[in-house]
Structure 1
Amino acid sequence: MTLVIWAEGRLVGSDEAALSAVDHGITVGDGVFETCTVLDGRVFALTRHLARLARSARGLGLEAPDEQKVRDGVAAVLAAATHEAGPFDGRLRITVTAGVGPLGSGRVPGAQTVVVAAQDGAMAPESHSARSPWPRNERSPIAGLKTTSYAENVVALADAKAKGADESILPNTVGALCEGTGSNVFVEGGGELLTPPLESGCLAGITRALVLEWGAEAGLPVREAALDELPFSVLDDVTAGRAQLALTSSGRNVQPVTWLDGAPVAAGEITLAVREVFEKNCRERLDP
Protein backbone atom coordinates (compact mmCIF):
# COMPACT_ATOMS: atom_id res chain seq x y z
CA MET A 1 0.00 0.00 0.00
CA THR A 2 1.34 3.42 -0.99
CA LEU A 3 1.40 6.22 1.60
CA VAL A 4 2.91 9.61 0.76
CA ILE A 5 3.12 12.48 3.28
CA TRP A 6 3.95 16.17 2.79
CA ALA A 7 4.48 18.33 5.87
CA GLU A 8 5.26 22.03 5.75
CA GLY A 9 6.84 22.03 2.32
CA ARG A 10 8.66 18.70 2.22
CA LEU A 11 7.92 15.03 1.66
CA VAL A 12 8.51 12.90 4.76
CA GLY A 13 8.48 9.20 5.53
CA SER A 14 5.65 7.68 7.55
CA ASP A 15 8.08 6.89 10.37
CA GLU A 16 9.84 10.27 10.23
CA ALA A 17 9.20 13.01 12.78
CA ALA A 18 7.54 15.90 10.99
CA LEU A 19 5.67 17.96 13.61
CA SER A 20 6.70 19.63 16.84
CA ALA A 21 5.81 17.73 20.00
CA VAL A 22 4.04 20.89 21.16
CA ASP A 23 2.04 21.46 17.98
CA HIS A 24 -1.49 22.32 19.10
CA GLY A 25 -2.87 19.65 16.80
CA ILE A 26 -1.09 17.08 18.99
CA THR A 27 -1.43 18.59 22.46
CA VAL A 28 -5.09 19.64 22.36
CA GLY A 29 -6.48 18.50 18.99
CA ASP A 30 -6.68 22.10 17.79
CA GLY A 31 -7.04 21.80 14.05
CA VAL A 32 -9.25 21.02 11.08
CA PHE A 33 -9.03 18.52 8.26
CA GLU A 34 -10.56 17.28 5.02
CA THR A 35 -10.54 13.79 3.53
CA CYS A 36 -10.91 13.74 -0.24
CA THR A 37 -11.48 10.95 -2.73
CA VAL A 38 -8.69 10.33 -5.24
CA LEU A 39 -9.77 8.99 -8.65
CA ASP A 40 -7.09 7.96 -11.15
CA GLY A 41 -4.54 10.04 -9.26
CA ARG A 42 -6.71 13.17 -9.19
CA VAL A 43 -8.56 14.73 -6.26
CA PHE A 44 -12.35 14.81 -6.53
CA ALA A 45 -14.23 17.99 -5.52
CA LEU A 46 -11.10 19.72 -4.22
CA THR A 47 -12.60 23.22 -4.47
CA ARG A 48 -15.54 22.23 -2.26
CA HIS A 49 -13.22 20.56 0.24
CA LEU A 50 -10.99 23.62 0.46
CA ALA A 51 -14.00 25.86 0.99
CA ARG A 52 -15.20 23.65 3.86
CA LEU A 53 -11.67 23.52 5.30
CA ALA A 54 -11.71 27.32 5.48
CA ARG A 55 -15.21 27.33 7.03
CA SER A 56 -14.15 24.82 9.68
CA ALA A 57 -11.04 26.87 10.47
CA ARG A 58 -13.06 30.06 10.90
CA GLY A 59 -15.59 28.20 13.03
CA LEU A 60 -12.76 27.07 15.30
CA GLY A 61 -11.43 30.63 15.49
CA LEU A 62 -8.39 29.93 13.28
CA GLU A 63 -7.22 31.91 10.30
CA ALA A 64 -8.28 30.38 7.00
CA PRO A 65 -5.37 28.32 5.69
CA ASP A 66 -3.22 29.53 2.81
CA GLU A 67 -5.07 27.88 -0.08
CA GLN A 68 -2.11 28.00 -2.46
CA LYS A 69 0.11 26.35 0.16
CA VAL A 70 -2.45 23.58 0.58
CA ARG A 71 -2.80 23.13 -3.18
CA ASP A 72 1.00 22.93 -3.50
CA GLY A 73 1.02 20.17 -0.89
CA VAL A 74 -1.75 18.32 -2.69
CA ALA A 75 0.12 18.53 -6.00
CA ALA A 76 3.37 17.32 -4.44
CA VAL A 77 1.73 14.35 -2.75
CA LEU A 78 -0.21 13.28 -5.84
CA ALA A 79 2.88 13.57 -8.04
CA ALA A 80 4.94 11.45 -5.66
CA ALA A 81 2.22 8.85 -5.15
CA THR A 82 1.54 8.57 -8.89
CA HIS A 83 5.26 8.23 -9.60
CA GLU A 84 5.42 5.39 -7.07
CA ALA A 85 2.21 3.52 -7.86
CA GLY A 86 0.85 4.95 -11.12
CA PRO A 87 -2.61 6.55 -11.37
CA PHE A 88 -4.45 5.33 -8.30
CA ASP A 89 -7.78 5.39 -6.51
CA GLY A 90 -7.69 6.15 -2.82
CA ARG A 91 -7.93 9.06 -0.45
CA LEU A 92 -6.12 12.26 0.40
CA ARG A 93 -6.18 14.01 3.76
CA ILE A 94 -5.44 17.68 4.37
CA THR A 95 -4.77 18.65 7.99
CA VAL A 96 -4.29 22.20 9.25
CA THR A 97 -3.46 22.78 12.93
CA ALA A 98 -3.04 25.89 15.06
CA GLY A 99 0.71 25.25 14.97
CA VAL A 100 3.22 25.30 17.80
CA GLY A 101 1.58 26.47 21.00
CA PRO A 102 1.80 26.37 24.79
CA LEU A 103 1.00 23.33 26.92
CA GLY A 104 -2.59 24.43 27.36
CA SER A 105 -5.57 25.66 25.40
CA GLY A 106 -4.16 29.07 24.52
CA ARG A 107 -2.86 29.67 20.99
CA VAL A 108 0.06 31.51 19.45
CA PRO A 109 -1.54 33.93 16.94
CA GLY A 110 -0.52 33.37 13.35
CA ALA A 111 1.04 29.94 13.87
CA GLN A 112 -0.18 27.18 11.59
CA THR A 113 0.91 23.73 10.39
CA VAL A 114 -0.20 22.10 7.13
CA VAL A 115 0.10 18.37 6.40
CA VAL A 116 -1.14 16.51 3.31
CA ALA A 117 -1.13 12.73 2.92
CA ALA A 118 -2.36 10.36 0.21
CA GLN A 119 -2.93 6.61 0.26
CA ASP A 120 -4.26 4.17 -2.29
CA GLY A 121 -7.21 1.91 -1.45
CA ALA A 122 -10.58 0.67 -2.60
CA MET A 123 -14.01 1.55 -1.22
CA ALA A 124 -16.17 -1.17 0.29
CA PRO A 125 -19.42 -1.69 -1.66
CA GLU A 126 -21.62 -1.85 1.46
CA SER A 127 -21.60 -1.16 5.18
CA HIS A 128 -22.30 -3.04 8.38
CA SER A 129 -23.46 -0.46 10.91
CA ALA A 130 -24.44 -0.33 14.57
CA ARG A 131 -26.31 2.16 16.70
CA SER A 132 -24.16 4.27 19.00
CA PRO A 133 -24.96 4.38 22.73
CA TRP A 134 -23.74 8.00 22.77
CA PRO A 135 -25.36 11.06 21.13
CA ARG A 136 -23.89 13.87 19.05
CA ASN A 137 -24.22 17.21 20.83
CA GLU A 138 -25.90 19.41 18.25
CA ARG A 139 -25.36 22.43 20.54
CA SER A 140 -21.59 21.98 20.75
CA PRO A 141 -19.50 24.93 19.51
CA ILE A 142 -17.80 22.55 17.06
CA ALA A 143 -20.98 20.82 15.82
CA GLY A 144 -20.86 20.62 12.05
CA LEU A 145 -17.13 21.45 11.90
CA LYS A 146 -14.56 18.94 10.66
CA THR A 147 -12.00 19.24 13.44
CA THR A 148 -9.14 17.03 14.60
CA SER A 149 -10.83 16.75 18.02
CA TYR A 150 -12.03 13.29 17.03
CA ALA A 151 -11.89 11.30 20.27
CA GLU A 152 -15.69 10.92 20.51
CA ASN A 153 -15.75 9.44 17.03
CA VAL A 154 -12.85 7.11 17.80
CA VAL A 155 -14.63 5.73 20.87
CA ALA A 156 -17.97 5.35 19.07
CA LEU A 157 -16.34 3.61 16.10
CA ALA A 158 -14.43 1.24 18.39
CA ASP A 159 -17.76 0.33 20.00
CA ALA A 160 -19.25 -0.40 16.58
CA LYS A 161 -16.26 -2.52 15.54
CA ALA A 162 -16.58 -4.55 18.74
CA LYS A 163 -20.15 -5.32 17.61
CA GLY A 164 -18.97 -6.46 14.15
CA ALA A 165 -19.75 -3.20 12.33
CA ASP A 166 -17.66 -0.71 10.37
CA GLU A 167 -19.64 2.43 11.29
CA SER A 168 -21.52 3.78 14.28
CA ILE A 169 -24.80 5.67 13.74
CA LEU A 170 -25.40 8.50 16.22
CA PRO A 171 -28.54 10.28 17.43
CA ASN A 172 -28.35 13.83 18.71
CA THR A 173 -29.28 14.91 22.23
CA VAL A 174 -32.99 15.30 21.39
CA GLY A 175 -33.34 11.82 19.89
CA ALA A 176 -33.14 12.69 16.20
CA LEU A 177 -31.08 10.74 13.68
CA CYS A 178 -27.83 12.65 13.15
CA GLU A 179 -24.85 11.01 11.38
CA GLY A 180 -22.14 8.38 11.48
CA THR A 181 -18.72 8.91 13.01
CA GLY A 182 -17.30 9.66 9.58
CA SER A 183 -20.34 9.67 7.32
CA ASN A 184 -23.72 11.21 6.65
CA VAL A 185 -26.81 9.02 6.74
CA PHE A 186 -29.76 8.67 4.37
CA VAL A 187 -32.98 6.80 5.07
CA GLU A 188 -35.08 5.40 2.24
CA GLY A 189 -38.79 5.02 2.90
CA GLY A 190 -42.15 6.06 1.55
CA GLY A 191 -40.72 6.39 -1.95
CA GLU A 192 -38.07 8.97 -0.91
CA LEU A 193 -34.44 9.09 0.18
CA LEU A 194 -34.03 11.52 3.09
CA THR A 195 -31.04 12.85 5.04
CA PRO A 196 -31.10 14.68 8.39
CA PRO A 197 -30.97 18.49 8.21
CA LEU A 198 -27.77 20.29 9.20
CA GLU A 199 -29.60 21.62 12.27
CA SER A 200 -29.41 18.08 13.68
CA GLY A 201 -25.70 18.67 14.28
CA CYS A 202 -24.42 16.59 11.37
CA LEU A 203 -21.51 17.57 9.16
CA ALA A 204 -22.28 19.33 5.90
CA GLY A 205 -20.79 16.47 3.90
CA ILE A 206 -19.46 17.07 0.40
CA THR A 207 -20.85 13.74 -0.81
CA ARG A 208 -24.14 14.45 1.00
CA ALA A 209 -24.51 17.75 -0.84
CA LEU A 210 -23.73 16.20 -4.21
CA VAL A 211 -26.19 13.36 -3.63
CA LEU A 212 -28.89 15.95 -3.01
CA GLU A 213 -27.86 17.99 -6.08
CA TRP A 214 -27.21 15.16 -8.51
CA GLY A 215 -30.15 13.10 -7.28
CA ALA A 216 -32.54 15.99 -7.92
CA GLU A 217 -30.89 16.65 -11.28
CA ALA A 218 -31.53 13.01 -12.25
CA GLY A 219 -35.18 13.28 -11.18
CA LEU A 220 -34.77 11.01 -8.17
CA PRO A 221 -36.79 11.65 -4.97
CA VAL A 222 -33.89 12.74 -2.73
CA ARG A 223 -34.17 15.60 -0.21
CA GLU A 224 -33.17 16.97 3.16
CA ALA A 225 -35.66 16.00 5.85
CA ALA A 226 -37.49 18.43 8.11
CA LEU A 227 -36.04 18.86 11.59
CA ASP A 228 -38.41 16.37 13.27
CA GLU A 229 -38.90 14.02 10.32
CA LEU A 230 -36.20 11.44 11.09
CA PRO A 231 -36.20 10.33 14.74
CA PHE A 232 -33.42 7.93 15.76
CA SER A 233 -36.12 5.29 16.14
CA VAL A 234 -36.46 5.22 12.33
CA LEU A 235 -33.63 2.68 12.53
CA ASP A 236 -36.21 0.26 13.98
CA ASP A 237 -38.00 0.54 10.63
CA VAL A 238 -34.73 -0.35 8.90
CA THR A 239 -34.16 -3.52 10.94
CA ALA A 240 -37.83 -4.44 10.44
CA GLY A 241 -37.49 -4.07 6.66
CA ARG A 242 -39.88 -1.11 6.38
CA ALA A 243 -37.06 1.31 5.42
CA GLN A 244 -33.51 1.19 4.14
CA LEU A 245 -30.31 2.95 5.21
CA ALA A 246 -27.32 4.34 3.32
CA LEU A 247 -24.10 6.16 4.22
CA THR A 248 -22.28 8.83 2.24
CA SER A 249 -18.75 10.17 2.61
CA SER A 250 -15.54 10.67 0.68
CA GLY A 251 -14.39 7.25 1.86
CA ARG A 252 -17.64 5.55 0.93
CA ASN A 253 -19.34 7.55 -1.84
CA VAL A 254 -22.93 6.17 -1.67
CA GLN A 255 -22.85 2.99 0.39
CA PRO A 256 -25.93 0.90 1.21
CA VAL A 257 -26.12 -0.50 4.73
CA THR A 258 -26.77 -4.24 4.48
CA TRP A 259 -26.39 -5.14 8.17
CA LEU A 260 -27.64 -3.12 11.13
CA ASP A 261 -27.19 -4.12 14.77
CA GLY A 262 -26.61 -7.74 13.78
CA ALA A 263 -29.58 -8.02 11.42
CA PRO A 264 -29.19 -8.33 7.64
CA VAL A 265 -31.10 -5.56 5.83
CA ALA A 266 -31.77 -4.87 2.16
CA ALA A 267 -30.35 -2.07 0.05
CA GLY A 268 -32.96 0.39 -1.19
CA GLU A 269 -33.85 0.79 -4.86
CA ILE A 270 -33.53 4.59 -4.75
CA THR A 271 -30.20 4.24 -2.93
CA LEU A 272 -28.86 2.00 -5.68
CA ALA A 273 -30.10 4.39 -8.37
CA VAL A 274 -28.46 7.35 -6.61
CA ARG A 275 -25.24 5.39 -6.26
CA GLU A 276 -25.21 4.71 -10.00
CA VAL A 277 -25.70 8.41 -10.76
CA PHE A 278 -22.99 9.41 -8.30
CA GLU A 279 -20.41 6.90 -9.55
CA LYS A 280 -20.94 8.10 -13.13
CA ASN A 281 -20.86 11.80 -12.32
CA CYS A 282 -17.87 11.78 -9.99
CA ARG A 283 -15.57 10.52 -12.74
CA GLU A 284 -17.01 12.90 -15.33
CA ARG A 285 -17.17 16.01 -13.10
CA LEU A 286 -13.91 16.08 -11.24
CA ASP A 287 -14.43 19.42 -9.49
CA PRO A 288 -18.18 20.03 -9.34
Structure 2
Amino acid sequence: MSTVVWVDGELVGQSQRALSAVDHGVTVGDGAFETCTLVGGTVFALTRHLRRLDRSLRGLGLTPATDLEARVRQGIEAVLARAGDIDGRLRLTVTSGIGPLGSGRGQARETVVVAAAASTMRPQSWSVRSPWVRNERSAVAGLKTTSYAENVVALADAVARGGDEALLANTVGALCEGTGSNVVVERAGQLLTPALETGCLAGITRELLLEWGAEDGLPVREAEPGELPFSVLDDVTAGRAHLALTSSGRNVQPVTSLDGVAVEAGPLTMAARALFERRMRERTDP
Protein backbone atom coordinates (compact mmCIF):
# COMPACT_ATOMS: atom_id res chain seq x y z
CA MET A 1 0.00 0.00 0.00
CA SER A 2 1.28 3.47 -0.85
CA THR A 3 1.40 6.21 1.76
CA VAL A 4 -1.94 7.94 2.37
CA VAL A 5 -1.45 11.69 2.74
CA TRP A 6 -3.77 14.48 3.91
CA VAL A 7 -2.75 18.15 3.71
CA ASP A 8 -4.95 20.85 5.22
CA GLY A 9 -8.30 19.29 4.44
CA GLU A 10 -7.52 17.33 1.31
CA LEU A 11 -6.26 13.82 0.55
CA VAL A 12 -3.41 14.05 -1.95
CA GLY A 13 -1.21 11.60 -3.82
CA GLN A 14 2.10 10.79 -2.14
CA SER A 15 4.01 12.28 -5.07
CA GLN A 16 1.71 15.29 -5.46
CA ARG A 17 3.25 18.71 -4.79
CA ALA A 18 0.93 19.76 -2.00
CA LEU A 19 3.06 22.21 0.03
CA SER A 20 4.16 25.71 -0.88
CA ALA A 21 7.79 26.02 -1.92
CA VAL A 22 8.13 28.72 0.75
CA ASP A 23 6.44 26.83 3.55
CA HIS A 24 8.74 27.37 6.55
CA GLY A 25 8.69 23.64 7.22
CA VAL A 26 10.46 23.24 3.86
CA THR A 27 12.76 26.26 3.87
CA VAL A 28 14.04 26.18 7.46
CA GLY A 29 12.50 23.12 9.11
CA ASP A 30 10.23 25.25 11.31
CA GLY A 31 7.75 22.76 12.70
CA ALA A 32 7.12 19.73 14.86
CA PHE A 33 5.97 16.18 14.24
CA GLU A 34 4.88 12.94 15.86
CA THR A 35 5.17 9.38 14.59
CA CYS A 36 2.55 7.03 16.03
CA THR A 37 2.12 3.27 15.82
CA LEU A 38 -0.95 1.95 14.03
CA VAL A 39 -2.38 -1.29 15.37
CA GLY A 40 -5.17 -2.65 13.18
CA GLY A 41 -5.98 0.85 11.96
CA THR A 42 -6.07 2.32 15.48
CA VAL A 43 -3.60 5.00 16.56
CA PHE A 44 -1.76 3.78 19.65
CA ALA A 45 -1.33 6.29 22.52
CA LEU A 46 -2.77 9.17 20.48
CA THR A 47 -3.54 11.29 23.55
CA ARG A 48 0.10 11.15 24.66
CA HIS A 49 1.37 11.92 21.17
CA LEU A 50 -0.91 14.96 20.91
CA ARG A 51 0.28 16.10 24.32
CA ARG A 52 3.92 15.85 23.23
CA LEU A 53 3.15 17.60 19.93
CA ASP A 54 1.68 20.41 22.02
CA ARG A 55 4.88 20.63 24.10
CA SER A 56 7.04 20.74 20.98
CA LEU A 57 4.94 23.45 19.31
CA ARG A 58 4.86 25.55 22.46
CA GLY A 59 8.61 25.10 22.83
CA LEU A 60 9.06 26.41 19.29
CA GLY A 61 6.77 29.35 19.99
CA LEU A 62 4.14 28.11 17.51
CA THR A 63 0.39 27.69 17.89
CA PRO A 64 -0.23 24.95 20.47
CA ALA A 65 -1.58 21.62 19.32
CA THR A 66 -4.57 22.13 21.62
CA ASP A 67 -5.69 24.94 19.28
CA LEU A 68 -5.10 22.77 16.19
CA GLU A 69 -6.52 19.51 17.50
CA ALA A 70 -9.74 19.63 15.47
CA ARG A 71 -7.73 19.96 12.24
CA VAL A 72 -5.31 17.22 13.27
CA ARG A 73 -8.10 14.82 14.17
CA GLN A 74 -9.89 15.59 10.90
CA GLY A 75 -6.75 14.56 9.05
CA ILE A 76 -6.34 11.40 11.10
CA GLU A 77 -9.93 10.37 10.43
CA ALA A 78 -9.60 10.96 6.70
CA VAL A 79 -6.29 9.10 6.40
CA LEU A 80 -7.41 6.09 8.41
CA ALA A 81 -10.66 5.83 6.47
CA ARG A 82 -8.57 5.48 3.30
CA ALA A 83 -5.75 3.35 4.78
CA GLY A 84 -7.99 0.77 6.45
CA ASP A 85 -7.16 -1.60 9.30
CA ILE A 86 -3.40 -1.62 8.83
CA ASP A 87 -0.47 -2.12 11.15
CA GLY A 88 2.04 0.59 10.47
CA ARG A 89 2.83 4.21 11.18
CA LEU A 90 0.96 7.48 11.24
CA ARG A 91 2.84 10.76 11.09
CA LEU A 92 1.46 14.12 12.23
CA THR A 93 3.33 17.23 11.07
CA VAL A 94 2.65 20.88 11.85
CA THR A 95 4.74 23.67 10.33
CA SER A 96 4.55 27.42 10.83
CA GLY A 97 3.20 27.74 7.29
CA ILE A 98 4.24 30.04 4.47
CA GLY A 99 7.04 32.37 5.49
CA PRO A 100 9.95 34.45 4.22
CA LEU A 101 13.10 32.86 2.83
CA GLY A 102 15.02 33.76 5.98
CA SER A 103 14.60 32.47 9.51
CA GLY A 104 12.05 35.07 10.56
CA ARG A 105 8.44 33.91 10.60
CA GLY A 106 5.54 35.36 8.70
CA GLN A 107 1.91 35.56 9.78
CA ALA A 108 0.55 32.63 7.76
CA ARG A 109 -1.76 29.89 8.96
CA GLU A 110 -0.03 26.72 10.11
CA THR A 111 0.27 23.79 7.73
CA VAL A 112 -1.04 20.45 9.02
CA VAL A 113 -0.06 17.18 7.34
CA VAL A 114 -1.16 13.66 8.30
CA ALA A 115 0.25 10.57 6.59
CA ALA A 116 -0.05 6.82 7.14
CA ALA A 117 1.57 3.71 5.69
CA ALA A 118 1.76 0.03 6.47
CA SER A 119 5.01 -1.20 8.03
CA THR A 120 6.41 -3.97 10.19
CA MET A 121 8.76 -3.78 13.16
CA ARG A 122 12.06 -5.57 13.02
CA PRO A 123 12.77 -7.90 15.96
CA GLN A 124 16.28 -6.55 16.61
CA SER A 125 18.63 -3.66 15.91
CA TRP A 126 22.20 -3.38 14.69
CA SER A 127 23.38 -0.17 16.30
CA VAL A 128 26.52 1.91 15.81
CA ARG A 129 28.15 4.52 18.04
CA SER A 130 27.98 7.91 16.36
CA PRO A 131 30.99 10.26 16.21
CA TRP A 132 28.62 13.21 16.76
CA VAL A 133 26.92 14.34 19.97
CA ARG A 134 23.54 15.64 21.06
CA ASN A 135 23.58 19.18 22.48
CA GLU A 136 21.60 18.97 25.70
CA ARG A 137 21.66 22.78 25.97
CA SER A 138 20.21 23.42 22.50
CA ALA A 139 17.21 25.72 22.17
CA VAL A 140 15.24 22.74 20.85
CA ALA A 141 16.62 20.02 23.13
CA GLY A 142 13.85 17.57 23.95
CA LEU A 143 11.53 18.90 21.23
CA LYS A 144 10.48 16.71 18.28
CA THR A 145 11.09 19.21 15.49
CA THR A 146 11.19 18.85 11.72
CA SER A 147 14.78 20.19 11.78
CA TYR A 148 16.09 16.64 11.49
CA ALA A 149 19.27 17.03 9.45
CA GLU A 150 21.57 16.03 12.33
CA ASN A 151 19.67 12.78 12.71
CA VAL A 152 19.65 12.11 8.97
CA VAL A 153 23.42 12.51 8.71
CA ALA A 154 24.14 10.40 11.80
CA LEU A 155 21.79 7.63 10.66
CA ALA A 156 23.27 7.61 7.14
CA ASP A 157 26.71 7.18 8.69
CA ALA A 158 25.42 4.26 10.78
CA VAL A 159 23.85 2.60 7.73
CA ALA A 160 27.12 2.98 5.81
CA ARG A 161 28.79 1.05 8.65
CA GLY A 162 26.22 -1.75 8.62
CA GLY A 163 23.87 -0.42 11.29
CA ASP A 164 20.26 0.67 11.44
CA GLU A 165 20.57 3.19 14.27
CA ALA A 166 23.20 5.60 15.53
CA LEU A 167 23.74 6.05 19.26
CA LEU A 168 24.69 9.50 20.55
CA ALA A 169 26.43 10.85 23.61
CA ASN A 170 25.69 14.38 24.79
CA THR A 171 28.28 17.16 25.13
CA VAL A 172 29.44 15.97 28.58
CA GLY A 173 29.90 12.33 27.58
CA ALA A 174 26.69 10.83 28.92
CA LEU A 175 24.75 8.25 26.94
CA CYS A 176 21.83 10.17 25.43
CA GLU A 177 19.70 8.54 22.70
CA GLY A 178 19.54 7.23 19.16
CA THR A 179 18.63 9.35 16.15
CA GLY A 180 15.03 8.18 16.40
CA SER A 181 14.93 6.15 19.58
CA ASN A 182 15.58 6.14 23.30
CA VAL A 183 18.09 3.71 24.76
CA VAL A 184 17.80 1.24 27.64
CA VAL A 185 20.79 -0.46 29.24
CA GLU A 186 20.31 -3.76 31.08
CA ARG A 187 22.93 -4.05 33.77
CA ALA A 188 23.19 -5.62 37.23
CA GLY A 189 19.59 -6.82 37.21
CA GLN A 190 18.09 -3.47 36.19
CA LEU A 191 16.90 -1.67 33.07
CA LEU A 192 18.24 1.91 33.00
CA THR A 193 17.32 4.67 30.56
CA PRO A 194 19.02 8.09 30.38
CA ALA A 195 17.24 10.90 32.20
CA LEU A 196 15.65 13.69 30.16
CA GLU A 197 18.31 16.07 31.48
CA THR A 198 20.78 14.40 29.11
CA GLY A 199 18.93 16.06 26.22
CA CYS A 200 17.09 12.98 24.99
CA LEU A 201 13.55 13.09 23.69
CA ALA A 202 10.75 12.21 26.11
CA GLY A 203 9.77 9.14 24.10
CA ILE A 204 6.23 7.82 24.42
CA THR A 205 7.43 4.19 24.41
CA ARG A 206 10.07 5.09 27.01
CA GLU A 207 7.45 6.79 29.17
CA LEU A 208 5.08 3.84 28.99
CA LEU A 209 7.83 1.31 29.66
CA LEU A 210 8.71 3.16 32.87
CA GLU A 211 5.05 3.23 33.93
CA TRP A 212 4.12 -0.31 32.91
CA GLY A 213 7.37 -1.71 34.25
CA ALA A 214 6.60 -0.19 37.67
CA GLU A 215 3.09 -1.66 37.54
CA ASP A 216 4.41 -5.11 36.64
CA GLY A 217 7.35 -5.18 39.04
CA LEU A 218 9.95 -4.94 36.28
CA PRO A 219 13.12 -3.21 37.56
CA VAL A 220 13.22 -0.29 35.11
CA ARG A 221 14.06 3.31 36.00
CA GLU A 222 15.76 6.52 34.91
CA ALA A 223 19.49 6.56 35.47
CA GLU A 224 21.02 8.83 38.08
CA PRO A 225 23.50 11.54 36.97
CA GLY A 226 26.76 9.90 35.92
CA GLU A 227 25.30 6.38 36.02
CA LEU A 228 25.25 5.87 32.24
CA PRO A 229 28.36 7.36 30.63
CA PHE A 230 28.72 6.76 26.89
CA SER A 231 31.47 4.29 27.76
CA VAL A 232 28.83 1.95 29.22
CA LEU A 233 28.50 0.73 25.64
CA ASP A 234 31.91 -0.92 26.12
CA ASP A 235 30.23 -3.11 28.73
CA VAL A 236 27.66 -4.10 26.12
CA THR A 237 30.25 -5.20 23.55
CA ALA A 238 32.15 -7.01 26.33
CA GLY A 239 29.01 -8.93 27.34
CA ARG A 240 28.75 -7.33 30.80
CA ALA A 241 25.54 -5.46 29.89
CA HIS A 242 22.76 -5.56 27.31
CA LEU A 243 21.12 -2.85 25.22
CA ALA A 244 17.68 -2.08 23.83
CA LEU A 245 16.02 0.72 21.88
CA THR A 246 12.52 2.08 22.40
CA SER A 247 10.38 4.07 19.97
CA SER A 248 7.06 4.02 18.18
CA GLY A 249 8.73 2.28 15.24
CA ARG A 250 10.48 -0.31 17.39
CA ASN A 251 8.49 -0.82 20.63
CA VAL A 252 11.15 -2.42 22.89
CA GLN A 253 13.80 -3.69 20.50
CA PRO A 254 16.91 -5.59 21.64
CA VAL A 255 20.24 -4.62 20.11
CA THR A 256 21.99 -7.73 18.81
CA SER A 257 24.95 -6.02 17.15
CA LEU A 258 26.88 -2.98 18.39
CA ASP A 259 29.64 -1.51 16.22
CA GLY A 260 29.69 -4.77 14.27
CA VAL A 261 30.12 -6.92 17.38
CA ALA A 262 27.41 -9.53 17.97
CA VAL A 263 25.82 -9.06 21.40
CA GLU A 264 23.08 -10.94 23.21
CA ALA A 265 19.62 -9.69 24.14
CA GLY A 266 19.21 -9.59 27.90
CA PRO A 267 16.49 -11.49 29.78
CA LEU A 268 15.00 -8.33 31.28
CA THR A 269 14.99 -6.72 27.84
CA MET A 270 12.99 -9.62 26.45
CA ALA A 271 10.62 -9.49 29.41
CA ALA A 272 10.14 -5.75 28.80
CA ARG A 273 9.39 -6.35 25.13
CA ALA A 274 6.79 -8.99 25.95
CA LEU A 275 5.21 -6.74 28.58
CA PHE A 276 5.02 -3.78 26.24
CA GLU A 277 3.55 -5.68 23.32
CA ARG A 278 0.92 -7.27 25.56
CA ARG A 279 -0.10 -4.00 27.21
CA MET A 280 -0.26 -1.98 23.99
CA ARG A 281 -2.94 -4.33 22.65
CA GLU A 282 -4.84 -4.16 25.93
CA ARG A 283 -4.65 -0.34 26.24
CA THR A 284 -4.77 1.43 22.91
CA ASP A 285 -4.78 4.94 24.39
CA PRO A 286 -3.10 4.61 27.78
- TM-score between both structures, scaled by the size of structure 1: 0.98
Q: Please say if residues 185 and 242 of structure 2, whose CA atoms lie closer than 8 Å, have aligned partners that are also in contact.
A: yes
Per-residue deviation, residues 40-87 of structure 1 (Å, max 9, x unmatched):
0110000000000010000011111311110110111011001xxxx1
Partner of 1:93: 91
Partner of 2:111: 113
Partner of 1:224: 222
Q: Moved runs in structure 1, 4+ residues, more than 4 A?
A: none
Q: Please say if residues 238 and 244 of structure 1, whose CA atoms lie closer than 8 Å, have aligned partners that are also in contact.
A: yes
Name the SS for the 1:256 alignment partner: strand
Name the SS for the 1:148 alignment partner: coil
Partner of 2:130: 132
Q: Please say if residues 187 and 245 of structure 1, whose CA atoms lie closer than 8 Å, have aligned partners that are also in contact.
A: yes
Match status 1:177 vs 2:179:
no
Q: Please say if residues 243 and 255 of structure 2, whose CA atoms lie closer than 8 Å, have aligned partners that are also in contact.
A: yes
Name the SS for the 2:253 alignment partner: strand
Structure 1 Cα separation of the partners of residues 204 and 217 of structure 2: 20
Q: Which amino acid aligns with 2:260?
A: G
Matching of residues 112-261 of structure 1 within 5 Å: 112-261=110-259
Structure 2 Cα separation of the partners of residues 233 and 154 of structure 1: 24
- TM-score between both structures, scaled by the size of structure 2: 0.98
Structure 1 Cα separation of the partners of residues 91 and 161 of structure 2: 28
Partner of 1:80: 82
Partner of 1:51: 51
Structure 2 Cα separation of the partners of residues 170 and 263 of structure 1: 18
Q: Which amino acid aligns with 1:9?
A: G
Structure 1 Cα separation of the partners of residues 205 and 180 of structure 2: 12
Partner of 2:12: 12
Unaligned runs of 5+ in 1: none
Name the SS for the 1:68 alignment partner: helix
Q: Please say if residues 186 and 194 of structure 1, whose CA atoms lie closer than 8 Å, have aligned partners that are also in contact.
A: yes
Q: Please say if residues 184 and 208 of structure 1, whose CA atoms lie closer than 8 Å, have aligned partners that are also in contact.
A: yes
Per-residue deviation, residues 143-188 of structure 1 (Å, max 9, x unmatched):
1000000000000000000000000000000000000000000000
Deviation at 1:110, TM superposition (A): 5.2
Q: Please say if residues 135 and 171 of structure 1, whose CA atoms lie closer than 8 Å, have aligned partners that are also in contact.
A: yes
Q: Which amino acid aligns with 2:26?
A: I
Partner of 1:36: 36
Per-residue deviation, residues 24-55 of structure 1 (Å, max 9, x unmatched):
00000000000000000110000000000010
Q: Which amino acid aligns with 1:93?
A: R
The CA RMSD measured in Å over matched residues stands at 0.7
Name the SS for the 1:132 alignment partner: strand
Q: Please say if residues 211 and 278 of structure 1, whose CA atoms lie closer than 8 Å, have aligned partners that are also in contact.
A: yes
Structure 2 Cα separation of the partners of residues 166 and 217 of structure 1: 31
Q: Please say if residues 63 and 110 of structure 1, whose CA atoms lie closer than 8 Å, have aligned partners that are also in contact.
A: no
Partner of 2:70: 68
Q: Which amino acid aligns with 2:203?
A: G
Q: Which amino acid aligns with 1:157?
A: L
Q: Which amino acid aligns with 2:46?
A: L
Percent identity over paired residues: 70
Q: Which amino acid aligns with 2:237?
A: T
Q: Please say if residues 137 and 173 of structure 1, whose CA atoms lie closer than 8 Å, have aligned partners that are also in contact.
A: yes
Q: Please say if residues 98 and 108 of structure 2, whose CA atoms lie closer than 8 Å, have aligned partners that are also in contact.
A: no
Unaligned runs of 5+ in 2: none
Name the SS for the 2:167 alignment partner: strand
